[in-house]
Amino acid sequence: MTTSSRRPDEGEARDAAHWAPIMEKLRVSGVPEEALSLNVEGRRVLGPLQGFGKMWQKTYRVRLSGSAATPTEVIKTWKENFPKFWGAPRGNRFYAPITGIAPGEVAVLNLGAGPMKLSTGVMVLYADDESFTLMTPQGHMLAGWITFSSFEEEGCTVAQAQEYFRGQDPLSEIALALVGHNMQEKLWEQTLRSLAAHFGVEGQPQMLVTCVDPKRQWSEAKNLWHNAAIRSMLYTVSAPARWMARPFKRLKR
């Protein structure tokens, strides 16, 4: 997997090549056959301002003490091995874009084991040599983005993941309060542990949680319409009907 950022044209801002281009709707391509790709194609991305629930900032960081890896090397490795380091429990899959973590690329996520899979995705909003950011589409449990970065602090390279998000709709907000926050924190702590282990460090991630805005945005409750959990479940339970309709579809052709 390679990551390439194009060189900015003359007169263009220095960061121009690092940002995703404007896209009205997401397009998914190059997804492996075994992946369930629902709830991403044709969706819009949502930032933390468009969500329903409280706005949170969560920062996870691990010090790569004793490692000679530079921030640039850490981010290059993280981009190239993102699905491998991704700390979700077994059965969950992160199908990275075939062209790698590059601005505007879309990844598909399959969450949950067995026949009941939740399908959603993320778009690469920003990527440079020392950071990259993933943004969620409509239907994802979260509305927001997460920035992965690396930098030097007191002579030590630090790897960091920082999320800014709201629960996307009322159902997601309830799920977050019940189990979501806990699962998510475990996921990113495990991700940082795996990344640190790659560099030969037994890292102990630290977490800082801030509620940026405690108010809920009831005007965004309408996001429930796109909820990927509901839509994935409906897709799964309607599988027998689709299976039975298949011969008729073939006849029509």
Partner 1 sequence: MPANRFEAGVRHQQGVAVIDLRGEVDAFADEALNAAYAEASSRDSACILLNFDGVDYINSTGIALIVGLLAQARTSHRRLLACGLSDHYLEVFQITRLADFLSIFPDEVSALANAPGSAEADS
Instruction: State both tokens at 192.
Output: 């940082």
Torsion of CA 22, 48, 180, 226, to 10 degrees: -60
Nearer to partner 1, 168 or 232 (CB): 168
User: What is the rounded radius of gyration, in angstroms, for the C-alpha atoms of the chain?
Assistant: 19
Binder among 48, 71, 139, 167 for partner 1 (CB under 8 A) = 48
Binder among 2, 4, 15, 178 for partner 1 (CB under 8 A) = 15
Nearer to partner 1, 86 or 126 (CB): 126
Tell me the window of 28-36, 64-72, 142-150, 241-249 that interacts with partner 1 (CB under 8 A).
142-150
Binder among 215, 249, 250, 253 for partner 1 (CB under 8 A) = 215
What whole-number distance in Å separates Cα of residue 132 and Cα of residue 102? 8
Interaction between residue 13 and partner 1 (CB under 8 A): yes
Instruction: Give me the amino acid identity at 214.
Output: P
Interaction between residue 221 and partner 1 (CB under 8 A): no
Residue numbers 49-78 binding partner 1 by CB under 8 A: 49-50, 55, 57
Interaction between residue 125 and partner 1 (CB under 8 A): yes
Handedness of CA 118, 232, 47, 1 (dihedral sign): positive
Q: How far is the CB of 101 from partner 1 (least distance, A)?
A: 13
What whole-number distance in Å separates Cα of residue 189 and Cα of residue 28? 28
Beta bridge partners of 135: 123, 145
Q: Cβ(113)–Cβ(119) under 8 Å?
A: no
What whole-number distance in Å separates Cα of residue 14 and Cα of residue 8? 6
Nearer to partner 1, 50 or 232 (CB): 50
What whole-number distance in Å separates Cα of residue 111 and Cα of residue 161? 20
Binder among 156, 174, 209, 212 for partner 1 (CB under 8 A) = 212
Tell me the window of 15-23, 112-120, 184-192, 193-201 that interacts with partner 1 (CB under 8 A).
15-23
Q: How many CB atoms lie within 10 A of CB 80?
A: 16
Q: Would you tell me which residues interact with partner 1 (CB under 8 A)? A: 12-16, 18-23, 45-50, 55, 57, 125-126, 128, 131-133, 135, 145, 147, 149, 151, 162, 164, 212-213, 215
